[in-house]
């Protein structure tokens, strides 16, 4: 019995040691970080999600800030993975009351974060920004009732990439580069039908139709329709114009000009384009770095074709610098963000070809030569001009759920199992409901 | 490794019987090899992609042996991101967790299999029951709790919970231990061994196959765990291998050759451990205390 | 104290000493968060704001939600296909590879490889195999004159496609468990039966199967828990599509929690799932007479 009591105490001592060892290990790390320097240096955490090839650009602007601001130090944390993982991690940190100070949030998530009160209002700190120096449309989406929950990091738009070799082979003339003279829906259909050929392994597609609202809303706009009405209180997806656009898109799939969602699951459309099996891909500027490496064929960029309204449209996606609620250094964080949209920082991003079109007009205009290479000067204009033809996707604070709901029907539309206008009719009341909930 | 005495093993073959013998063998090999090819395909793709140039990944039809071979992908994968440090971090965590959970799980498994105590059934079912709650809903409270005790951005949340709460391991070892003959323990008791000595000297040595299996699974699970380190670690210097590997996936594009090269580099220790552990799956139980 | 009581105390003390580390971990790292999640299941909580008590709403809402029933059905179908296929596949494999075969070390390694292959590579290769026009499976079928389905994009075939992939990955894993279990079958038993004139089939059914029944029981229970909680395969391959055809309970929970930010509802669904698994498990334990402990 005695022996056993001894053993019990012995083992519990070990357990206790183990546990205390762990906790002291943990706290020592954190006290290291909290050690005040000689003159109270403020340390800010900045957490972003980005590709490895982009990291040197982001690190460079952070380094530039750290060098010019001796009293503040930003630690850049890069989160591996995609937006889903980023949102999950931010959510956990916000719930625990310990979020990073600065973040970069995709446009689609902004309403969700700001409506839940998870972002600091930056209006009090950004009064000294000269708004006329910036593309104001990029700022507008984040201003609510005199508050500003974020600062645009860069503008991305979409356009039509096409394989020039395939066009030449089929005798299709190159589309114009002016957004005012964009191709029509019929032009696109004609081209797609000529470009589609083959069967099985040698199958070649004319165009890729993506029915995700984040990639398809411009077709509704250009046909005179929309996803929601102006104040996002009612869905417009079942308006005749919207239905017309959707039916047109489904027609391209039905005629076999576009791969179905099934095909693109394996072979992502950009890979399909890269391997020369896809003639036309309507996608975002973010594809530029990948496509600039193509050496097997010539390719170009043109405006997105227009529908019945006779006006071309492209969606814009503005990544946003934010300060998370709970930051203890909002002023310093705002200072850093202002630096990130300064001439110096924006030029660094252009140097590294990262972050979309600069929001600072002077940088955007003076660096045309360095951006969007290897495109010809006329084709570069497709991107520069696109900003004027761009609109923000009507993101809502429950946008993920909106997309989820829409995609459930659009999957069937893509599989040709549900008629596009019937899908729109089914969706309208569901979306109305979601809009009421927000 | 495979030349361990077959006499010890239980002969359970149902394919070797009688007249079918000559016909059954080649058929058996055919089935097994066909299955093996099916199993290995993604792995082969992984290795082959790791040696391809970026443009060649989605070529159709796919080439198994790329031409030319891009060995430098490995060098590049190793130098682009701090894989070395991540390797050390992952090794440290995996070794502690595997050793630790083998110990705690076998202890608990022994008690649940071979002892009688108050609350035995209840505690066992409670343990099993907690496995039935998906981790997605306990993620936030766990994070809040670790944040309170300042464990965020340390390796502790990746080490301590898997060592101290591994219901899978307890259940696995309990099942295995419960099929160990009582006679073995009784012999030990007659020799005057206390429960710890019986556990340590008699039961554990007879559990080698199960311990090897659990060891492999724990190591694997830890080695490939992505979400937990993602949520808890902020600092790249503290990252584990899966986080570094995931870093090769961009938001809009993925560098497949580098990603696969990094994945292959990460696989090596697991394969080595598997090769070592697998001898225990052919080593039969030694029934020293039981007469045949 | 009587000898009996002293012995009783001593035995209990020893037992608790043995389970102490795991029970401590259970209490600290598992029970706490589970209770938290349980409380949240009665609340409306979007993480940013303070939780708000809503009683049983989160539970009652599920009953009338067609998506909940859809994912419950999908999950059950998945489990019903996955469990038997994996158990039988793994057991047959283990039996085959437990023989004196040339090159069995290599073969065993081959069957274990899927477990260690990077899951990204696995998902990618399988989506490629399943690709309707460029994929290997349909190319083979086409050469046989059969037009293959759309697999992952076909409403009927999507879920079975995911099952096939899961079984593919699961057999190697569970084969290891069966192999370990087979090592616990004392060869003496077989020898004795042989002397009694039992054929190899008889010995297989009368000795091997009962002797490894604890392992089988373990494999079945773990597969049940794993199948009911299947997440990463549909998450990586289909995100639940097309049109919810592969949406399963835990994917639904994940979306509800981290895409739609309804933590309360996500917790409520989790506890419904918990009750389902628990009931099925308890039934299995009740009817586990076939499991043969001790010798």
- Confidence grade of residue A281 (pLDDT, cut at 50, 70, 90): very high
Which H or E element spans position A74?
A: strand A72-79
What integer pLDDT is reported at residue B60 of this predicted model? 66
pLDDT tens for residues A348-363?
999 888 888 898 889 9
pLDDT at A18: 44
Q: Does position A24 have pLDDT exceeding 70, yes or no? A: no
Tell me which of A263 and A301 has the higher pLDDT: A301
Chain C residues near residue A404 by CB distance under 8 angstroms = 255, 259-260
Distance from C-alpha of A180 to C-alpha of A312, rounded to nearest angstrom: 7
Angle between helix axes B120-130 and C263-286 (nearest 10 degrees) is: 130
Sign (positive or negative) of CA dihedral A188, A189, A192, A194:
negative
Residue B22's pLDDT is what?
Answer: 52
Reading the block at residue C234, the tokens are 């549909």
The pLDDT of residue A9: 44
Confidence category of residue B2, pLDDT binned at 50, 70, 90: very low
Is the CB of residue A94 less than 8 Å from the CB of residue A324? yes
| pLDDT of residue B267 exceeding 90 | no
Contacts of A265 in chain C (CB under 8 A): 127, 131, 152-153, 237-238
User: Which has more confidence, C275 or A355?
Assistant: C275
Write down which chains contact chain C via at least 3 CB pairs under 8 A: A, B
From its phi and psi, is residue A245 left (phi > 0), alpha (psi between -120 and 50) or beta? alpha
pLDDT in tens, A186-210: 999 999 999 998 876 678 899 999 9
Establish whether the linkage from the previous residue to C169 is cis, with ω within 30° of 0. Answer: no
pLDDT in tens, B153-195: 999 999 999 999 999 999 999 998 988 888 888 888 898 899 9
In this prediction, residue B19 carries a pLDDT of 44
* First-to-last C-alpha distance (Å) of chain B: 27
Report the distance separating Cα B102 and Cα B104, nearest Å.
6
Q: Which of A167-171, A306-310, C283-287 has the lowest mean pLDDT?
A: C283-287
Mutate which: A97, A266, A275, vs C, most C CBs within 10 A: A266
**What mean pLDDT value characterizes chain C?**
88
Asked if B165 contacts C24 with a C-beta cutoff of 8 angstroms, the reply is no
pLDDT for the residue numbered A238:
94
Interface of C with B in 167-226 (CB under 8 A): 168, 172-173, 176-177, 179-192, 199-201, 203-204, 207-208, 211-212, 214-215, 217-218, 221-222, 225
Verify whether the Cβ–Cβ distance A80 to B249 is below 8 Å.
Answer: yes
Mean pLDDT of A102-110: 91
Q: What is the pLDDT of residue C99?
A: 79
Nearest to B280 by CA among C158, C181, A179: C181
What band does C294 get if pLDDT is binned at 50, 70 and 90? low
pLDDT of residue B200: 93
Share of chain C above pLDDT 90, in %: 47
pLDDT digits (tens, 9 = 90+) for A26-42: 333 333 444 444 567 89
How much is the pLDDT for A14?
43
pLDDT of residue C237: 86
* DSSP line for B83-139: HHHHHHHHHHHHHHHHHHHHHHHHHHHHHHHH---TTHHHHHHHHHHHTTS-HHHHH
Rounded (5°) CA angle C232-C233-C236: 80
- CA neighbor of B180 nearest in space, from B83, B241, B113, B236: B113
B130/chain C closest Cα distance in angstroms:
7
**pLDDT tens, residue by residue, B47-72:** 988 998 877 777 766 777 887 888 88
Would you state the pLDDT for residue A227? Answer: 95
- pLDDT class for A10, splitting at 50, 70, 90? very low
pLDDT at B283: 53
Closest by CA position to A301, among listed A392, A227, A363, A376: A376
Q: Which two tokens stand for residue B245?
A: 């590997």
pLDDT at A13: 42
Q: Given this model, what pLDDT does residue A35 score?
A: 47
DSSP string, A184-245: BHHHHHHHHHHH-B--GGG-BEEEE---SHHHHHHHHHHTT--SB-TTSSSB-TTSHHHHHH
List the beta bridge partners of residue A87. none
pLDDT range class, residue A266, cuts 50, 70, 90: low
Q: What is the pLDDT of residues B189-239, one digit of tens each?
A: 898 899 999 999 999 998 888 999 899 889 988 998 888 999 999 998 999
DSSP secondary structure letters along B21-64 = HHHHHHHHHHHHHHHHHHHHHHHHHHHHHTTS-GGGTT-SSPPS
| C-alpha span between A379 and A392 (Å, rounded) | 23
Q: Closest residue of C to A201, CA-based?
A: C134
CA distances (Å), origin B166, targets B100, B108, B163: 10, 10, 7
Bridge-based pairing state of the strands A143-144 and A102-105: unpaired
pLDDT for A210 equals 92
Residue the block writes with tokens 């179908």:
C77
Q: Quick one: pLDDT at residue C49?
A: 79
DSSP β-bridge partners for residue A364? none
Output phi, psi for B181, to 5 deg.
-60, 140
Contact residues, chain C, for B127 at CB < 8 Å: 22, 26
pLDDT at B23: 57
For residue A198, the model assigns a pLDDT of 82
How high is the pLDDT of residue A12? 45
Report pLDDT for A262: 64
Q: Which run of H or of E encompasses A78?
A: strand A72-79
Report yes or no: A198 and A204 within 8 Å, Cβ to Cβ: yes
Q: How far apart are CA B126 and CA B167, in angstroms?
A: 10
| DSSP 8-state secondary structure symbol assigned to residue A357 | B
Structure tokens at B200: 């340590």
Contact C121 B120 (CB under 8 A): no
The whole model's pTM is what?
A: 0.87
Q: Are C226 and C220 in contact (CB under 8 A)?
A: no
pLDDT tens readout for residues C63-104? 999 999 999 999 999 999 999 999 999 999 998 888 777 887
Query: Is C57 an interface residue toward B (CB < 8 Å)?
Result: no
Task: Name residue A160's beta-bridge partners.
Answer: A282, A302
């Amino acid at each position: 019995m005695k022996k056993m009591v001894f053993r019990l105490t012995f083992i519990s001592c070990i357990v206790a040691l183990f546990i205390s060892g762990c906790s002291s290990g943990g706290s020592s790390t954190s006290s290291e970080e909290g050690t005040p320097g000689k003159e109270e240096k403020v340390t800010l955490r900045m957490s972003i999600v980005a590709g490895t090839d982009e990291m040197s650009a982001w690190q460079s602007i952070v380094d530039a800030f750290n060098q010019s601001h001796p009293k503040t130090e930003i630690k850049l944390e890069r989160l591996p993975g995609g937006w889903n993982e980023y949102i999950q991690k931010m959510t956990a940190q916000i719930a625990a009351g310990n979020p990073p100070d600065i973040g970069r949030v995709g446009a689609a998530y902004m309403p969700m974060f700001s409506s839940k009160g998870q972002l600091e209002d930056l209006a009090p700190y950004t009064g000294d920004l000269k708004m006329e120096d910036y593309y104001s449309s990029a700022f507008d989406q984040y201003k609510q009732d005199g508050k500003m929950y974020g600062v645009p990091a860069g503008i991305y738009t979409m356009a039509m990439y096409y394989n020039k070799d395939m066009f030449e082979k089929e005798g299709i003339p190159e589309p114009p580069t002016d957004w005012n003279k964009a191709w029509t829906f019929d032009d696109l259909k004609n081209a797609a039908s000529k470009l589609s050929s083959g069967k099985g392994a040698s199958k070649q597609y004319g165009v890729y139709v993506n029915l995700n609202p984040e990639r398809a809303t411009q077709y509704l706009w250009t046909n005179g329709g929309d996803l929601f009405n102006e104040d996002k209180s009612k869905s417009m997806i079942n308006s005749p114009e919207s239905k017309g656009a959707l039916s047109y898109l489904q027609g391209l799939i039905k005629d076999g000009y576009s791969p179905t969602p099934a095909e693109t699951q394996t072979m992502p459309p950009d890979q399909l384009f890269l391997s020369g099996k896809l003639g036309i891909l309507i996608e975002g500027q973010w594809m530029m770095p990948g496509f600039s490496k193509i050496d097997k064929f010539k390719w170009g960029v043109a405006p997105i074709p227009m529908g019945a309204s006779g006006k071309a449209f492209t969606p814009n996606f503005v990544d946003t610098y934010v300060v998370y609620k709970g930051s203890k250094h909002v002023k310093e964080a705002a200072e850093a963000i202002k630096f990130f949209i300064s001439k110096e920082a924006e030029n660094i991003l252009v140097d590294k070809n990262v972050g979309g079109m600069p929001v600072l007009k002077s940088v955007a205009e003076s660096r045309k030569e360095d951006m969007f290479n290897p495109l010809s000067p006329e084709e570069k204009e497709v991107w520069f001009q696109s900003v004027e033809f761009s609109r923000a996707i009507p993101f809502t604070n429950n946008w993920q759920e909106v997309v989820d709901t829409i995609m459930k029907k659009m999957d069937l539309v893509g599989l040709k199992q549900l008629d596009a206008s019937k899908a729109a009719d089914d969706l309208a009341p569901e979306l109305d409901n979601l809009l009421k909930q927000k | 490794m495979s030349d361990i005495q077959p006499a010890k093993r239980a002969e359970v073959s149902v394919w070797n019987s009688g007249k079918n013998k000559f016909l059954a063998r080649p058929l058996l090999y055919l089935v097994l090899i066909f299955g093996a090819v099916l199993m290995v395909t993604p792995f082969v793709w992984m290795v082959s992609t790791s040696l391809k140039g970026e443009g060649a990944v989605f070529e159709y039809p796919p080439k198994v042996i790329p031409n030319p071979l891009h060995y430098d992908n490995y060098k590049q994968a190793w130098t682009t991101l701090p894989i070395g440090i991540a390797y050390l971090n992952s090794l440290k965590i995996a070794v502690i967790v595997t050793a630790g959970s083998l110990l705690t799980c076998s202890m608990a498994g022994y008690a649940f299999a071979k002892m009688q105590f108050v609350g035995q059934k209840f505690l066992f079912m409670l343990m099993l029951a907690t496995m039935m709650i998906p981790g997605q809903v306990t993620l936030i409270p766990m994070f809040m709790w670790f944040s309170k005790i300042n464990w965020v951005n340390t390796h502790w949340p990746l080490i301590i919970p898997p060592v101290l709460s591994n219901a899978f391991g307890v259940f696995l070892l309990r099942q295995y231990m419960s099929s160990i003959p009582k006679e073995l323990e009784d012999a030990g008791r007659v020799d005057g061994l206390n429960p710890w000595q019986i556990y340590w000297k008699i039961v554990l040595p007879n559990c080698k196959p199960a311990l090897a299996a659990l060891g492999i699974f724990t190591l694997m699970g830890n080695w490939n765990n992505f979400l937990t380190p993602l949520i808890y670690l902020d600092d790249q210097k503290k990252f584990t291998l899966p986080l570094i590997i995931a870093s090769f996936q961009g938001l809009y594009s993925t560098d497949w050759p580098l990603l696969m090269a990094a994945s292959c580099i990460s696989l090596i220790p697991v394969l080595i451990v598997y090769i070592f552990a697998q001898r225990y799956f052919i080593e039969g139980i030694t029934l020293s205390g039981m007469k045949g | 104290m009587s000898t009996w009581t002293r012995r009783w105390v001593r035995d209990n003390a020893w037992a608790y000493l043995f389970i102490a580390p795991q029970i401590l971990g259970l209490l600290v790292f598992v029970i706490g968060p589970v209770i938290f999640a349980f409380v949240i299941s009665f609340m409306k909580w979007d993480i940013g704001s303070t939780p708000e008590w809503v009683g049983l709403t989160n539970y009652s809402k599920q009953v009338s939600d067609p998506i909940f029933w859809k994912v419950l059905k999908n999950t059950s179908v998945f489990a019903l296909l996955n469990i038997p296929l994996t158990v039988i596949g793994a057991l047959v494999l283990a039996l085959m590879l437990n023989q004196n075969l040339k090159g069995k070390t290599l073969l065993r390694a081959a069957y274990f490889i899927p477990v260690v292959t990077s899951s990204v590579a696995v998902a990618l290769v399988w989506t490629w195999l399943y690709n309707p026009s460029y994929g290997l499976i349909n190319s083979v079928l086409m050469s046989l004159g059969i037009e293959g389905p759309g697999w992952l994009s076909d409403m009927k075939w999507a879920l079975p496609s995911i099952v096939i992939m899961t079984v593919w990955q699961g057999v190697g894993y569970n084969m290891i468990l069966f192999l370990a279990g087979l090592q616990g079958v004392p060869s003496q038993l077989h020898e004795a039966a042989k002397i009694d004139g039992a054929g190899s089939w008889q010995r297989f059914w009368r000795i091997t199967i009962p002797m490894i029944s604890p392992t089988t029981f373990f494999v079945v229970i773990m597969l049940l828990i794993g199948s009911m909680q299947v997440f990463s395969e549909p998450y990586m391959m289909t995100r639940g599509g097309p049109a919810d055809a592969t949406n399963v309970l835990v994917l639904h929970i994940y979306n509800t929690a981290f895409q739609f930010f309804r933590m309360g509802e996500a917790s409520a669904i989790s506890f419904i799932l918990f009750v389902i698994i628990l009931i099925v498990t308890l039934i299995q334990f009740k009817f586990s007479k076939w499991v043969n402990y001790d010798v």
